[in-house]
Amino acid sequence: VARLDPIKDHPTFLQAAALLARKCQDVKFVCVGDGAAAYQKELKSLSEQLGLKEKVLWPGAARGNMRAIYNAMDIATSSSKAEGFSNVIAEAMACGVPCVVSDVGDSAMIVNNPACVVPREDPAALSEAWAGVLNLTEEQRQQLRQNATRRIAEEFSVRSLVEKTETSLLNLLR
Protein backbone atom coordinates (compact mmCIF):
# COMPACT_ATOMS: atom_id res chain seq x y z
CA VAL A 1 0.00 0.00 0.00
CA ALA A 2 2.09 2.84 -1.34
CA ARG A 3 2.86 4.73 -4.46
CA LEU A 4 4.53 2.80 -7.26
CA ASP A 5 7.91 4.49 -7.13
CA PRO A 6 11.46 3.15 -7.61
CA ILE A 7 12.37 4.01 -3.99
CA LYS A 8 9.73 1.48 -2.82
CA ASP A 9 11.73 -1.25 -4.62
CA HIS A 10 8.92 -3.26 -6.14
CA PRO A 11 11.45 -5.29 -8.22
CA THR A 12 12.82 -6.83 -5.00
CA PHE A 13 9.24 -7.48 -3.87
CA LEU A 14 8.43 -9.20 -7.17
CA GLN A 15 11.63 -11.27 -7.17
CA ALA A 16 10.85 -12.40 -3.62
CA ALA A 17 7.28 -13.20 -4.70
CA ALA A 18 8.61 -15.41 -7.49
CA LEU A 19 10.82 -17.27 -5.02
CA LEU A 20 7.95 -17.86 -2.58
CA ALA A 21 5.51 -18.80 -5.35
CA ARG A 22 7.85 -21.62 -6.38
CA LYS A 23 7.54 -23.10 -2.87
CA CYS A 24 3.91 -22.21 -2.10
CA GLN A 25 1.50 -22.56 -4.99
CA ASP A 26 -1.44 -20.98 -3.17
CA VAL A 27 0.04 -17.51 -2.53
CA LYS A 28 -1.15 -14.26 -4.09
CA PHE A 29 0.48 -10.83 -3.97
CA VAL A 30 -1.05 -7.38 -4.16
CA CYS A 31 0.65 -4.14 -5.13
CA VAL A 32 -1.70 -1.38 -4.03
CA GLY A 33 -0.77 2.03 -5.34
CA ASP A 34 -0.40 4.23 -8.34
CA GLY A 35 2.54 5.82 -10.07
CA ALA A 36 4.01 6.84 -13.38
CA ALA A 37 2.53 4.82 -16.25
CA ALA A 38 5.95 3.83 -17.59
CA TYR A 39 7.04 2.48 -14.20
CA GLN A 40 3.77 0.57 -13.77
CA LYS A 41 4.29 -0.99 -17.19
CA GLU A 42 7.87 -1.93 -16.26
CA LEU A 43 6.73 -3.59 -13.02
CA LYS A 44 3.92 -5.51 -14.69
CA SER A 45 6.34 -6.68 -17.38
CA LEU A 46 8.78 -7.85 -14.70
CA SER A 47 6.01 -9.74 -12.90
CA GLU A 48 5.15 -11.53 -16.15
CA GLN A 49 8.83 -12.35 -16.82
CA LEU A 50 9.02 -13.84 -13.32
CA GLY A 51 5.97 -16.04 -14.00
CA LEU A 52 3.72 -14.08 -11.66
CA LYS A 53 1.04 -12.88 -14.08
CA GLU A 54 -1.69 -14.85 -12.30
CA LYS A 55 -0.19 -14.33 -8.83
CA VAL A 56 0.04 -10.52 -8.60
CA LEU A 57 -2.94 -8.18 -8.39
CA TRP A 58 -2.58 -4.49 -9.33
CA PRO A 59 -5.71 -2.75 -8.00
CA GLY A 60 -4.32 0.77 -8.41
CA ALA A 61 -4.41 3.58 -5.88
CA ALA A 62 -5.77 2.87 -2.43
CA ARG A 63 -9.08 4.62 -2.06
CA GLY A 64 -11.84 4.17 0.42
CA ASN A 65 -11.77 1.85 3.39
CA MET A 66 -8.10 1.38 4.25
CA ARG A 67 -8.95 -0.97 7.11
CA ALA A 68 -10.60 -3.34 4.64
CA ILE A 69 -7.56 -3.16 2.34
CA TYR A 70 -5.15 -4.00 5.15
CA ASN A 71 -7.37 -6.70 6.63
CA ALA A 72 -7.49 -8.47 3.26
CA MET A 73 -3.77 -9.18 3.69
CA ASP A 74 -2.03 -11.93 5.62
CA ILE A 75 1.24 -9.96 5.57
CA ALA A 76 2.03 -6.36 4.68
CA THR A 77 5.44 -5.60 3.24
CA SER A 78 7.69 -2.63 2.73
CA SER A 79 10.64 -3.53 0.52
CA SER A 80 11.78 0.08 0.27
CA LYS A 81 15.36 1.11 -0.43
CA ALA A 82 14.87 4.12 1.87
CA GLU A 83 12.16 5.27 4.28
CA GLY A 84 11.54 7.64 7.09
CA PHE A 85 8.73 6.58 9.42
CA SER A 86 6.61 4.22 7.34
CA ASN A 87 2.97 5.18 7.83
CA VAL A 88 1.94 2.16 5.75
CA ILE A 89 3.63 -0.24 8.15
CA ALA A 90 2.19 1.51 11.20
CA GLU A 91 -1.29 1.50 9.66
CA ALA A 92 -1.09 -2.18 8.78
CA MET A 93 0.12 -3.07 12.26
CA ALA A 94 -2.67 -0.98 13.81
CA CYS A 95 -5.06 -3.19 11.83
CA GLY A 96 -3.37 -6.31 13.22
CA VAL A 97 -1.53 -7.22 10.03
CA PRO A 98 1.96 -8.71 10.52
CA CYS A 99 4.61 -6.83 8.57
CA VAL A 100 7.85 -7.85 6.91
CA VAL A 101 10.11 -4.90 6.13
CA SER A 102 13.48 -4.02 4.69
CA ASP A 103 15.88 -2.60 7.26
CA VAL A 104 15.68 1.04 6.25
CA GLY A 105 14.63 4.18 8.09
CA ASP A 106 12.45 3.47 11.10
CA SER A 107 10.96 0.25 9.71
CA ALA A 108 12.87 -2.15 12.00
CA MET A 109 12.08 0.00 15.03
CA ILE A 110 8.37 0.10 14.16
CA VAL A 111 8.09 -3.67 13.60
CA ASN A 112 10.40 -4.56 16.51
CA ASN A 113 10.71 -8.20 15.42
CA PRO A 114 14.06 -9.33 13.98
CA ALA A 115 12.42 -12.27 12.16
CA CYS A 116 10.39 -9.75 10.16
CA VAL A 117 13.22 -7.39 9.20
CA VAL A 118 15.43 -8.16 6.20
CA PRO A 119 18.35 -6.43 4.48
CA ARG A 120 17.27 -4.06 1.72
CA GLU A 121 17.38 -5.33 -1.86
CA ASP A 122 17.51 -8.99 -0.73
CA PRO A 123 14.71 -10.99 -2.40
CA ALA A 124 15.81 -14.30 -0.85
CA ALA A 125 15.69 -12.89 2.69
CA LEU A 126 12.32 -11.27 2.01
CA SER A 127 10.89 -14.53 0.68
CA GLU A 128 12.22 -16.46 3.67
CA ALA A 129 10.73 -13.97 6.13
CA TRP A 130 7.35 -14.29 4.43
CA ALA A 131 7.61 -18.07 4.59
CA GLY A 132 8.47 -17.82 8.27
CA VAL A 133 5.27 -15.88 8.98
CA LEU A 134 3.16 -18.15 6.78
CA ASN A 135 4.54 -21.25 8.49
CA LEU A 136 3.51 -20.11 11.97
CA THR A 137 0.69 -21.95 13.68
CA GLU A 138 -2.65 -20.15 13.82
CA GLU A 139 -2.03 -19.42 17.50
CA GLN A 140 1.39 -17.92 16.72
CA ARG A 141 -0.06 -15.81 13.88
CA GLN A 142 -2.79 -14.56 16.20
CA GLN A 143 -0.14 -13.61 18.76
CA LEU A 144 1.85 -11.79 16.06
CA ARG A 145 -1.29 -9.85 15.04
CA GLN A 146 -2.03 -8.91 18.65
CA ASN A 147 1.57 -7.86 19.26
CA ALA A 148 1.50 -5.65 16.16
CA THR A 149 -1.67 -3.86 17.23
CA ARG A 150 -0.47 -3.48 20.82
CA ARG A 151 2.90 -2.10 19.72
CA ILE A 152 1.32 0.65 17.62
CA ALA A 153 -1.19 1.54 20.34
CA GLU A 154 1.43 1.64 23.10
CA GLU A 155 4.37 3.19 21.26
CA PHE A 156 2.91 5.35 18.50
CA SER A 157 -0.52 6.54 19.58
CA VAL A 158 -1.13 10.28 19.84
CA ARG A 159 -1.25 9.93 23.63
CA SER A 160 2.10 8.13 23.70
CA LEU A 161 3.73 10.66 21.39
CA VAL A 162 2.44 13.58 23.49
CA GLU A 163 3.70 11.95 26.70
CA LYS A 164 7.13 11.27 25.20
CA THR A 165 7.41 14.79 23.84
CA GLU A 166 6.35 16.27 27.17
CA THR A 167 8.89 14.15 29.05
CA SER A 168 11.65 15.16 26.65
CA LEU A 169 10.82 18.84 26.94
CA LEU A 170 10.62 18.69 30.75
CA ASN A 171 14.00 16.93 30.84
CA LEU A 172 15.48 19.86 28.90
CA LEU A 173 14.37 22.22 31.67
CA ARG A 174 16.18 20.23 34.38
In this predicted structure, the answer to whether residue 38 has a pLDDT above a threshold of 90 is: yes
Nearest to 109 by CA among 155, 143, 74, 149: 155
**pLDDT of 87-138, one tens digit each?**
999 999 999 999 999 999 999 999 999 999 999 999 999 999 999 999 999 9
DSSP letter for 7, please: G
**pLDDT of 39-84, one tens digit each?**
999 999 999 999 999 999 999 888 778 888 999 999 999 999 999 9
Sign of CA dihedral 49, 53, 59, 62: negative
162, burial (CB in 10 Å: exposed 0-12, middle 13-18, buried 19+) = exposed
Report the predicted TM-score, pTM, of the whole model to 2 decimal places.
0.91
DSSP letter for 85, please: S
